A = this chain, B = another copy of it.
Amino acid sequence: MLYPEVLANAINSFKKLPGIGEKSAERYALATIELSDEEIDDFIKNVKDCKSKLRRCTECGHLTDKEVCDICNDTNREDNLLCVVEDYKSVFMFEKSGTFNGKYHVLNGLISPIDGVYPEDINLSTLKRRVDNFKGDGEVIIALKPSIEGETTTLYIKKILEENHIKVSRLSYGIPMGVEIDYLDAITLDRALIDRKEIS
């Protein structure tokens, strides 16, 4: 065997992470040897805590280490503006862009009968409750991916929120930035045409 057993085990563990192959796993495992005792203790504690202390926000379903997440608790954000997303990764994407000042609702899945995922399997009931509690006018922006599951879930949400008489919108589909129109797929181009905006 090329490596001492404990080193081979560490290499295998690093390979469990996405996009880490043999070469990188070796590099990271060897690097842990060079870290100070304090750094390695921190590393272990942080990875452990990350796995064990993170849970779903009881309000919106986002990742948090508290009962209710920092975003839901932020009084500077609009309560009557909800952005519905598939998972916590979408929340991080929106937060990095920094444009959105409402709150989120994380479904943790999309409706997909073919995969056995029905409306009751994703975080929808609390969405309805949150919208019922809107004070005055409000809006729900649905930001799901343009796929059959995304469309199905979007239409379902639109339907269950009908009686609330609030605005329900979705992100615009269209041409991503920095892309040559010549190389776009036909469906994207078609969507961009349908979602076209008047130049004012």
Contact = CB atoms under 8 A, between A and B. Distances in A.
A48 B13 CA distance: 11
A4 interface: yes
Interface in A61-103: 63-66, 69-70, 89, 92, 95-96
Interface in A5-61: 5-7, 9-10, 12-13, 16-20, 24, 26-33, 35, 37, 39-40, 42-44, 46-51, 53-54
Interface of A is mostly: helix
A3 interface: yes
Nearest to A91: B2
Contact of A29 (B3, B29, B39, B50): B50
A1 B39 contact: no
B35 A3 contact: no
B32 A50 contact: yes
Interface of A: 1-7, 9-10, 12-13, 16-20, 24, 26-33, 35, 37, 39-40, 42-44, 46-51, 53-54, 63-66, 69-70, 89, 92, 95-96
